[in-house]
Amino acid sequence: MPRPATDPAKAAHIKALRQEAGRWLKASREQAGLTQAELAERVGLRYYTFVSQVESGLGRLPIETQGAWAEALGLEPGEFARTLLRYYEPELFRLLFGGEGAARAQAGRAAG
């Protein structure tokens, strides 16, 4: 069965959320005092350009790497993953956490 065409408004919203996630990750990296190359080394990446892509909103962190990123940035892994879930999968985030989770993610963004 062919995939339906992506709604342009939805695609723009997804792009905006990825860019917001990237800004949050960049702020977290800078707060940890790390360069992109240092973070890449700490999480086992061969090239720092992936960090750049994620921070610019062109990529997203795979679930299996989020724990390593949280540790490298000095952040609590559960809160780190929850914050990324809010950006990467907003509908799933809403279903899982509702208003409580949204308020917590908002607080996490303000702190980061």
- Give the Cβ contact number of residue 75 at 10 Å: 20
Task: Select the more confidently predicted residue: 110 or 53.
Answer: 53
pLDDT score of 101 more than 60: no
- CA torsion 42→81→29→11, rounded to 10°? 120
**Average pLDDT taken over every residue of the chain:** 89
Task: Select the more confidently predicted residue: 110 or 11.
Answer: 11
Q: pTM surpassing 0.85? A: no
- Residue 60 in 3-state DSSP? coil
Is residue 22 assigned to a domain? yes
Task: Yes or no: say if 104 and 82 are a contact pair by the CB < 8 Å rule.
Answer: yes
CATH of the domain at 28: 1.10.260.40
Q: For 65-95, how does the pLDDT look when each residue is reduced to its tens digit (9 = 90+)?
A: 999 999 999 999 999 999 999 999 999 999 9
Task: Yes or no: say if 50 and 66 are a contact pair by the CB < 8 Å rule.
Answer: no
Using CA atoms, how far residue 42 sits from 23, 77, 106, in Å, is 20, 15, 27
- How many domains does one find in the chain? 1
Question: Domain of 29?
Answer: 12-111
